[in-house]
Amino acid sequence: MQELLWLLLPVAAASGWWAATRSLRKKLAAGQRRHDPAYFRGLNHLLNEEPDKAIDVFIEMLEVDSDTVETHLALGNLFRRRGEVDRAIRIHQNLIARPALTTEQRGQALLELGQDYLRAGLYDRAENLFNELRQHKLHLPHALRHLLTIYQQEKDWEACLRIADELERHADADLSVERSQYYCELAGEAERRGQRKRAVVLLRKALAADRGCVRASHQLARMERESGSAADAVKLYLATVERDPDYLPEVIEEIVQTNRALGRHDRLRQFLEDMAARHPNRGAELHLVDLIRETEGEQAALDYLNDYIARTPSLLGLMRLLELRCDRAGGHNDTLLGQVRDQLRRLMRERAVYQCGRCGFEAKQLHWQCPSCHAWATIRRRPLHDADG
Ligand SMILES: [Zn+2]
């Protein structure tokens, strides 16, 4: 083979020659490694499920042959994926201690070790490593993503905003939804500390980051309502529903109460009828039952409800029907209807009516960040008829 390469030399360009000899040397080294007894000893330990002995052998090999870096990285990853984080850490720490590593190899080993630390819950150590990669602009998108995970865990929302900006600049990522949620988190903290003005500024920033952020819009409406500006609050509530009609069940109770406090019964009925027609099965129909009962009497309310349940059966609709029937019977809880109503109420409290649109995680309450896939603003209340399943 060497002779063949010498024959080719006159016609080969200098760079081509160097590439060929480099590749040949690598192949020879790989061939030698395949016949290295230590390599087989290591494999043997692995096959015999003696991972600690295997690690010792591979580490010993690394001291004489830095070409085994890829093998060590693969082995470390394997241990981490199997949940054996201590072993992964040992392999990756050993790699980083080798002075012969190329910048690329060292960057890769740092990234892997950082992920081991994350998996082990050692956030401070992981943060230091990812920050080192960030400073040297090595594996930047991965390092920034992991830093974001750490700062989210630590609820350091200011740091999350800084990292999100960097990710958008360097990794061509769109984090507008995440940024708006970080502003909402900061606004919540400000509100809890009594800093109302700061909370409003942060919520407006959330809306500037993502126009569709119902969380910010709802929080602004609630703050207006609590400060006594009911009319302004109603406008903000309606704007919230316009941003995302699926969010209606979260605000409908407050919309009904605020309109009632303002004495705007006609406007409220108009709104509920409009919602029932445009966005059915999100609670407007059941609030309409109450309004019809007040203005047209019990029978008209029952007729409307029976008609609605016949079209779209749901546990909530059935529950409302039972309540109306019980009221009609004089509100006695010892009747069969009363018992069924109470049991149904209990069953409904146990139901998971929220679901993540990304991973399918089911929850009994609204989470802004999915506890399962960690995505933001992906959990929604399922439509009434759908939530029974
Ligand atoms: Zn999810």
With contact defined as beta carbons under 8 Å apart, do 51 and 84 qualify? Answer: yes
Confidence check: pLDDT of 329 > 50: yes
> And the tokens for 203?
């919520």
Instruction: Please check whether residues 185 and 200 belong to one and the same domain.
Output: yes
Question: What is the distance in A from the centroid of ligand 1 to the CA of 157?
Answer: 20
Residue ending a domain, choose from 242, 262, 282:
262
Question: What is the distance in A from the centroid of ligand 1 to the CA of 337?
Answer: 39
Question: What is the distance in A from the centroid of ligand 1 to the CA of 305?
Answer: 35
pLDDT, tens digit, for every residue of 148-167? 999 999 999 999 999 999 99
Question: What is the distance in A from the centroid of ligand 1 to the CA of 23?
Answer: 46
Instruction: Please check whether residues 134 and 186 belong to one and the same domain.
Output: no
Question: What is the distance in A from the centroid of ligand 1 to the CA of 18?
Answer: 51
Length reported for the chain: 389
Question: What is the distance in A from the centroid of ligand 1 to the CA of 217?
Answer: 23
In degrees, rounded to 5, the angle at the alpha carbon of residue 165 between the alpha carbons of residues 164 and 168 is 85
Instruction: Please check whether residues 355 and 322 belong to one and the same domain.
Output: no
With contact defined as beta carbons under 8 Å apart, do 379 and 385 qualify? Answer: no
> Per the domain annotation, does 13 fall within a domain?
no
> Per the domain annotation, does 2 fall within a domain?
no
Backbone angles phi, psi at 310, to 5 degrees: -65, -35
pLDDT, tens digit, for every residue of 252-277? 999 999 999 999 999 999 999 999 99
Question: What is the distance in A from the centroid of ligand 1 to the CA of 379?
Answer: 7
Instruction: Please check whether residues 253 and 294 belong to one and the same domain.
Output: no
Q: Rounded to whole angstroms, what are the CA distances from 82 to 51, 78, 86?
A: 12, 6, 11
Please compute the mean of the pLDDT values over residues 172-184 and round it to a whole number: 95
Question: What is the distance in A from the centroid of ligand 1 to the CA of 359?
Answer: 4
**Torsion, Cα of 129, 135, 139, 140 (10° steps):** 110
pLDDT at 385: 61
Instruction: Please check whether residues 203 and 87 belong to one and the same domain.
Output: no
Question: What is the distance in A from the centroid of ligand 1 to the CA of 334?
Answer: 43
Question: What is the distance in A from the centroid of ligand 1 to the CA of 178?
Answer: 14
Supply the CATH number for residue 153's domain: 1.25.40.10
pLDDT at 3: 34
Instruction: Please check whether residues 103 and 31 belong to one and the same domain.
Output: yes
Question: What is the distance in A from the centroid of ligand 1 to the CA of 357?
Answer: 7
CA nearest to 290, candidates 251, 326, 324, 337: 324
Instruction: Please check whether residues 58 and 134 belong to one and the same domain.
Output: yes
- Residue 228 region by backbone torsions, left for phi larger than 0, else alpha for psi between -120 and 50, else beta: left
pLDDT at 263: 93
Instruction: Please check whether residues 122 and 135 belong to one and the same domain.
Output: yes
Question: What is the distance in A from the centroid of ligand 1 to the CA of 358?
Answer: 5
Question: What is the distance in A from the centroid of ligand 1 to the CA of 375?
Answer: 6
Residue with tokens 């200011």: 158
Which 3 state secondary structure label does DSSP give 200?
helix
Question: What is the distance in A from the centroid of ligand 1 to the CA of 366?
Answer: 12
Please compute the mean of the pLDDT values over residues 299-305 and round it to a whole number: 93
> Per the domain annotation, does 4 fall within a domain?
no
Instruction: Please check whether residues 153 and 51 belong to one and the same domain.
Output: yes
pLDDT at 210: 97
Domain that holds residue 307: 264-350
Q: How many domains does the chain have?
A: 4
Instruction: Please check whether residues 163 and 117 belong to one and the same domain.
Output: yes
User: Mean pLDDT across the chain, nearest whole number?
Assistant: 85
Instruction: Please check whether residues 128 and 184 belong to one and the same domain.
Output: no
Question: What is the distance in A from the centroid of ligand 1 to the CA of 369?
Answer: 8
